[in-house]
Structure 1
Amino acid sequence: MKTHWFTLHEDTFLWLKGNKVLVYNAENKNRALFNLSDKLEKICHRLLEIENLYTVELTDEDVNDEEISQWIHSLIDMRAGYLSLNVEFDKRPVSLMPVLKVQDNREYYEGQQELGFKGKILQNLHELTFYINGSEEGDAEYFKQTIFPVRSDLALERTRIRLFIKNSRSSFLSNVNLVGDLFLYPDIGELINDISELSVQLTIHILIKDFLNHVQEIKEMKWPTDTRINILVDRVFDVSSLKDLSFPFSLAVFIFSEDDFLRYSSLFDTFSLAQDIRFIPVYNGENMSFFESNVFMEKDDIDNVDLSKNEIFIRQAINVGDFGKLTIMPDGKVYANVNMPSLGTIDDSPYSIVYKEFTNGESWFRLRVQNPCENCVYQWLCPSPSNYEIVIDRPNLCHVRN
């Protein structure tokens, strides 16, 4: 009796969860979902055994079975695998299953620390956000979801900010954010100059009301080349006030309902802005129906996700939204995520803070490994857990059930 080899390509992922099997070709982004019968389950488990090198041996009876044949040819049609005849003396086909291999993980840095080497852990720090003071328009809840000023009478000292950035410096630190009612900050000009000397992208985040209160002062300032203003829009305003700005700016527009989206869309349609405009949903405790209709993932959303093999590996290893970022609040406390416990203060060394997050933190490595995501075939096609899940107190923002 002749036998055959069925081999999956190296860019093909095979995920089994419950009675479903999802095949995803990361090279051409083709995918197929199947019900997992006993026959297919046996073949899939053999394919997933590392020693089989993503190849399974099938008999004539197997390849002539209607169900197995349809499954195999579906995968061949989506270029996820191929069938070959097992000829005597021919080498067995070899394919490397796409398996995540991480070198710079928690255990690596713990080992380096024990050996007395600090290593290159600061290369994992890419972005710093300083809430340098508060704003009367700040909100104690919204900042837990996205960059949004808080109400606070405290302010970070310029020298402490400068020293923390200096001690964080590596070629991998590329972004610094300043948040608050910045033009009530006494040393704002000097602080901006300090940061501009460090060859990083500086973004200033300021609420529209605070911006308008200082618009003339803002227009008269000389802005360094690598500085951008991100205006946080939480209310309708006179868009003509944005005319004649000589520096790059963007708009982050917070929406709580469909009506908000329509209102702001109409507002900006009447005024030509050659700038970036992003609409950011915000949960206020009363607009769950808006989130369920507009933010939660649907099956069609997942079917339109196109990820490379490396992008899938990234989602299996780190939280894409949090990794490499630290936030420093007006009281000087430092967070990897403001919804999690503080890692230290601005007076601590950035190395010790990053090391603590790597070894004991709850943010940078927050993955979709909780129920029900861990039992879903779409587990690694979905985005990393976000702050929305924490604030809304849901394990995911998803309508998909399988």
Structure 2
Amino acid sequence: MKKNWLTLHGDTFLWLKGNTGLVYNSANKTKILFSLSDKIQKICHQLLDINNLYTIELTNEIINDEEVNRWINLLIGIQAGYLSLNIEFDKRPVSLNPILKVQDNRKYYEEQHNLGFKGKIIETLHELTFYINGSEYGDDEYFKQAIYPLKSSQILDGSKIQTFIKNSRNLFLSNINLVGNLFLYSDFERLIKNISDFSVQLTIHILIKDFLNNERKIKDTEWPIHTHFNVLVDTVFDISCLQNISFPFSVTIFVFSENDFTQFSSMFDTFLLDQNIRFIPLYNRENRPFFELNIFTEKEELDIIDLSKNEIFMRQAFNTENFGKLTVMSDGNVYANVNAPSLGTIDDSPYSIVYKEFTNGQSWFKLREQSPCDICIYQWLCPSPSNYEIILDRPNLCHVKN
């Protein structure tokens, strides 16, 4: 009786949840969703056995089974695998399951720490955000969802900011964010100059009213290279005034309803704003229907998702929203996520803070492992858990039914 090899390619993911299976070819971004009959389930479990190297032997009788044949043709159709004839003495086809293997995990860094090797873990830190002060136009809730100034009257000490950055320096630290009203900060030019000496991208996040109120200071100041303004627009504001600004900046527009988005979009029809513009929804405790209709994930969105193998691995390994980021609030407390407990203060060493997050934190490694995501076939195709889930008190932002 002739036998054949069924082999899945190394870029192909095979997931099983309950009575459903999903094959995703990360090379060409195609997928098939199928029901797990006893026959298909047996084949899938054999393929997932690491000892089989993503290759199993099938007889002609099995392959010619109508249901199995249809399923194999679907796999071949999306180039997820192939059939080859098993001839005696021929080499068995070999493939490797796309299984995440992380060498620098929590256990690794704990062992390095116990041995006295403390340097490498700081290389996971790539972005720092400092809430240097508050703004009269700020909000003490919205910062829990996105970078947004507070109303706080507290001021973060500039020398401590500089020391914290200095002690955080590594090859991968590439972004520094300052949040608040920079122009109410004593000797702001010195602060900017000291940070620019670290040769990283510096972004100043400022509300549009504070930005326009200080337009003259902005024009008269000589800004170091790699310094950038991100103007935060929090109300339906006539942003056409920004077209007169002569230096580069980006714009973040916070929207609370479909009407907000429509009104801002109509403004873009009246003038050309040659800037980087992005929209971010904010939850204000009254616009949940807006979130459910426009922000929650639908199955149709997952059907057209476009992820590489490495992007899926990242979602399996760490929280892509939070990983590598620390936020220092104006009271000096440091967070991996502002919705989680503080990891320490600006007076602590960045190493001790990063190590604490690696070993006991709640943010950098918050994955889609909670119910109901852990039983969903799309578990690793969905984005990492975000602040929205925390604010809305939901395990996910999803309309997909398992």
> TM-score w.r.t. structure 1 length?
0.98
How far apart in 2 are the matches of 1:257 and 1:237?
14
* Structure 1 residue 210: Cα displacement: 1.3
Quote the residue 1:5 is aligned against: 5
Q: Could you list the per-position Cα deviations for residues 43-78 of structure 1 after superposition, in whole angstroms to 9, with x for gaps in the alignment?
A: 100100000111111122110100000000110111
Question: Do the aligned partners of 1:109 and 1:119 also contact (CA within 8 Å) in 2?
Answer: no
Helix, strand or coil for the counterpart of 1:99? coil
Partner of 2:214: 214
Q: Residue 117 in 1 paired to residue 117 in 2?
A: yes
Task: Tell whether 2:126 aligns with 1:126.
Answer: yes
Larger mean CA deviation between 296-305 and 94-103 belongs to 296-305
Q: For 1:247, what is the secondary structure of its paired residue?
A: coil
C-alpha contact (below 8 Å) 1:122/1:170 kept by paired residues = yes
Give secondary structure in 1 for the equivalent of 2:57. Answer: strand
Q: Is the 8 A contact 1:315 1:384 kept in 2?
A: yes
CA shift, 1:86, in A, is: 1.6
Q: For 1:57 and 1:263, locate their aligned partners in 2 and report how far apart those are by CA, in whole Å.
A: 61
Check the 8 A contact 1:131/1:178 in 2, yes or no: yes
SS in 1 for 2:27: coil
- Where in structure 1 do 4 or more consecutive aligned residues deviate above 6 Å? none
- When residues 197 and 244 of structure 1 are mapped into structure 2, their CA distance, relative to the original with a 3 A threshold, is farther
CA deviation after TM superposition for structure 1 residue 305, in Å = 1.2
Report the residue type matching 1:70 in the other structure. R
The separation in 2 between residues aligned to 1:153 and 1:385, in whole angstroms, is 31
What CA distance in whole angstroms lies between the structure 2 residues aligned with 1:53 and 1:201? 44
Match of 1:335 in 2: 335
**Which amino acid in structure 2 is aligned with residue 341 of structure 1?**
P
**Once structures 1 and 2 are overlaid, which stretch shifts more, 234-243 or 39-48?**
234-243
Q: Secondary structure of the equivalent of 1:193? A: helix
Unaligned stretches of 5+ in structure 1? none
Q: CA deviation at 1:240?
A: 4.4
Cα deviations across residues 222-265 of structure 1 (Å, max 9, x unaligned)? 11120110000012334343244333201100000000001111
Aligned residue in 1 for 2:138:
138
Deviations 1:106-127 (A, max 9, x none): 0000000111111311110000
Q: Distance in 2 between matches of 1:269 and 1:163?
A: 46
Letter in 1 for 2:25: N
Give the match for residue 59 of structure 2: 59
The CA deviation string for residues 100-150 of structure 1, in whole angstroms up to 9 with x for no partner, is 010111000000011111131111000000000011111121100000011
1:55 touches 1:93 (CA, 8 Å); kept in 2? yes
After superposition, what is the alpha-carbon deviation per residue over 1:80-101, rounded to whole angstroms, capped at 9, x for unaligned? Answer: 0111122111122111111101
Aligned residues: 402
Q: Which position in structure 2 is the counterpart of 1:185?
A: 185
| Counterparts of residues 249-260 of structure 1 (less than 5 Å) | 249-260=249-260
Segment of structure 1 superposing worse, 335-344 or 85-94: 85-94
AA of the residue aligned to 1:200: V
Q: Distance in 1 between matches of 2:349 and 2:48?
A: 44
Deviations, residues 280-336 of structure 1 (Å, cap 9, x unaligned): 100011111101111111112112211111111111001111000000000000000
Conserved in 1, the CA contact under 8 Å of 2:243 and 2:272?
Answer: no
Match of 2:155 in 1: 155
Give the whole-Å Cα distance in 1 for the aligned partners of 2:240 and 2:72.
61
Q: Deviations over 1:132-178 (max 9, x none)?
A: 00111111211000000111111001100000001101111000000
Q: Distance in 2 between matches of 1:304 and 1:319?
A: 22
Matches within 5 A, 1:66-105: 66-105=66-105
2:345 maps to what in 1? 345
Amino acid at match of 1:99: I
Q: Distance in 2 between matches of 1:360 and 1:148?
A: 27
In structure 2, give the amino acid aligned to 1:334: V
CA RMSD after TM alignment: 1.0
The alpha-carbon deviation at position 196 of structure 1 amounts to 1.0
Residues 183-230 of structure 1: per-residue CA shift (max 9 Å, x gap) = 111121111111111110000000111112212212211111201100
Query: For residue 44 of structure 2, what is the aligned residue in structure 1?
Result: 44
Moved more, 245-254 or 12-21: 245-254
Contact 1:154 1:331 (8 Å CA) reproduced: yes
The one-letter code of the counterpart of 1:59 is T
> How many angstroms does 1:8 deviate by?
0.5
Please say if residues 223 and 247 of structure 1, whose CA atoms lie closer than 8 Å, have aligned partners that are also in contact.
Answer: no
Q: Distance in 2 between matches of 1:372 and 1:325?
A: 27
Tell me the distance in 1 between the aligned counterparts of 2:177 and 2:23: 40
Letter of the 1:132 partner, please give it. Answer: I
Sort the Cα spacing of 1:246 and 1:198 in 2 relative to 1 into closer, same or farther, 3 A: farther
Work out whether residues 240 and 267 of structure 2, in 8 Å CA contact, stay in contact via their aligned partners in 1: no
Q: Partner amino acid for 2:19?
A: N
Structure 2: state its 5+ residue gaps: none
* Secondary structure of the corresponding residue to residue 117 of structure 1: coil
- Greater mean alpha carbon deviation, residues 221-230 or residues 266-275: 266-275
Secondary structure (helix, strand or coil) at the match of 1:10 reads coil
- Residue 401 of structure 1 aligns with an amino acid whose one-letter code is K
Residue type of the alignment partner of 1:195: I
SS in 2 for 1:172: coil
What SS does structure 2 have at the residue aligned with 1:6? Answer: strand
Query: Structure 1 vs Structure 2: percent identity of aligned residues?
Result: 68
